[in-house]
Amino acid sequence: MKYKSQKVAYWFFVSCMALLALQIIYGFIMGFARIGYDVLHDWVPFNAARATHTNLLVVWLLTGFMGAAHYIIPEESQREIWSVKLAYVQLISLLVVGVIAIGGFHFNWWEGRKFLEIPRPLDYLVVVNVLAFLFNILMTVWKGNRFTTTSIVLTMGLLFAALLYLPGMIWFDNQTVDSFFRWYVVHLWVEGVWELIMGGILAYLLIKITGVDREVIEKWLYVIVGLTFLSGILGTGHHYYYIGTPSYWLWIGGIFGFLEIFAFLGMAVFAVVMYSKSGRNHPNKLALFWTLGCAITSFIGAGLLGAAHTLPQVNMYTHGTLVTAMHGHLAFWGAYAMLVLAIIAYAMPLMTGRKIYYNKIGIFAFWLSNIGMFGMTAALAVAGVAQVYLERIMGMDFLVVQKEVEIHFVVMLICAAIFTTGITLYIINFFKYGKPNEEALEGPDPIESDTPKKSFNSDVEVATV
């Protein structure tokens, strides 16, 4: 850790761990409700559990991105964060708004718009909060001693994410127009500007972990940004097929929606090629696992599984079914959740000075969470295909079909238990690092000092705790 103010990131990461754990709990509530054990229905009805589960996902990922920015931007800009106090105030206010929103869902205080359920008064507080965060980051970059492509792409992603929240706050009486602009937020976030954030964080991690020259990695970053804009913006059209918009969205959404696979393919190739050019055997193997895992899994979940049902001829049957849930689970896990877990795995040894690079808990956390998530994805895929056939082709009633596919949710719950074991181990490992301390600042960089130069045939001895 080079700058004292980078310690702020730790508290964002702590918040991430708490919000992720809470999201998993609500996932289990929904899973048991699916197989007939909806015992908490009087206190947590399914609609409230679903809204809480999806909104917690967004909040913990955003909190992770903010933590990553507070860690990365000072290093890239070569100066302390502009205002540490503002960073803490912004984090606390974000959590307060989040708690109020979740509480509101349980008392039917929400807008009922999928993925944008937060009540309008809280929307304004979110805007103020994000503006405070952006102001702090932009001032840090502006007053910094260095401008890098990595920091600019990351900052651009965060800035555009804030701007694209605004169309979702416009009130429309027409359902179609409302949905049209709602996807500006939802799609252009997760399949647009969040990819810029992903590219920025991924580039930073690859520069640090692989030792490949910054100039080479940042040239790849330009390609990633180009592919993201080329496909992501008009790719929004794959949400407009059958909601009352003009028919030209069928071919626009089909073509550009399919092209989105190349942005994620580029990201995966980018990470693997940079690793193959690695100039060092980095001791932080856990960070390397999460980084490469993020690039590859995002290609499978967001790229391949997304492309599999993005064409209008297919989407006509699959939209709104468990096939969408299958794609969503692996896409969010690979592209963004693993990314946040990667930057945390990289930053914690540097903030605390503790060399927990490659211990058994961390390894089990990686593999169990990934095996569990792939298992859940497979269970949802089988259930989704069955649902499409029975409901959309055979014309069976929705609730009858849900009963028919109930067994697949038993499988999903078993896989979710494996996933949860992995995440629990990750959280335990996280807290084993302890808090950031001044010694991490004063001493030599624990990773850089332990990092031998490139030697593909040598094993690196690392400390384990």
pLDDT reported for residue 438: 77
Whether the predicted model's global pTM rises above the 0.95 cut: no
Q: How far is it, in rounded angstroms, from Cα 130 to Cα 86?
A: 12
Q: Tell me, what DSSP letter sits at residue 392?
A: I
Question: In which band, very low, low, confident or very high, does the pLDDT at 443 lie, cut at 50, 70 and 90?
Answer: low
Q: Using one digit for the tens of pLDDT, what is the confidence trace for 377-417?
A: 999 999 999 999 999 999 999 999 999 999 999 999 999 99
Does residue 458 register a pLDDT over 80?
Answer: no
Pair 94, 19: CB distance under 8 Å: no
pLDDT in tens, 257-276: 999 898 889 888 888 888 88
- Distance from C-alpha of 184 to C-alpha of 178, rounded to nearest angstrom: 10
Q: What is the mean pLDDT of the chain?
A: 89
Tell me: pLDDT of 318 over 50.
Answer: yes
Lowest-confidence segment of 9-18, 55-64, 193-202, 340-349 by average pLDDT:
193-202
> How far is the C-alpha of 254 from the C-alpha of 231, rounded, in Å?
11
Number of Cβ within a 10 Å radius of residue 223: 15
Is 453's pLDDT higher than 60?
no
- Name the one residue in this structure whose structure tokens are 């990201």: 267
Percent of the chain with pLDDT over 70: 94
Task: With H, G, I as helix, E, B as strand and everything else as coil, classify residue 324.
Answer: helix
Calpha distance 50→52 (Å, rounded): 5
CA distance linking residue 252 with residue 245, whole number of Å: 12
Separation of alpha carbons 14 and 426, rounded Å: 12
Q: Which residues contact 6 (CB under 8 A, 6 or more apart)?
A: 70, 71, 74, 75, 81, 347, 351, 436
CA distances from 425 to 27, 33, 52 (A): 18, 26, 24
Distance, CA of 331 to CA of 288 (rounded, Å): 19
Which ranges in 299-333 belong to alpha helices (H)?
A: 305-308, 312-318, 322-332
CA–CA dist 460, 307 (Å, integer): 39
Greater pLDDT, 19 or 222: 19
Task: In whole angstroms, give the CA distance from residue 194 to residue 200.
Answer: 10
Widest CA span in the chain: 68
Answer whether residue 460 shows pLDDT above 80. Answer: no
* Half-sphere exposure (Cβ direction) of 42: Cα atoms closer than 13 Å: 1
Cα–Cα distance measured from residue 169 to residue 164, given in angstroms and rounded to the nearest whole number: 10
Give the pLDDT of residue 446: 52
pLDDT at 452: 46
Per-residue pLDDT band at 280 (split at 50, 70, 90):
low
Taking 50 as the threshold, does the pLDDT of residue 339 lie above it?
yes
Beta carbons of 426 and 342 less than 8 angstroms apart: no
The percent of residues in the chain predicted with pLDDT above 90, rounded, is 66
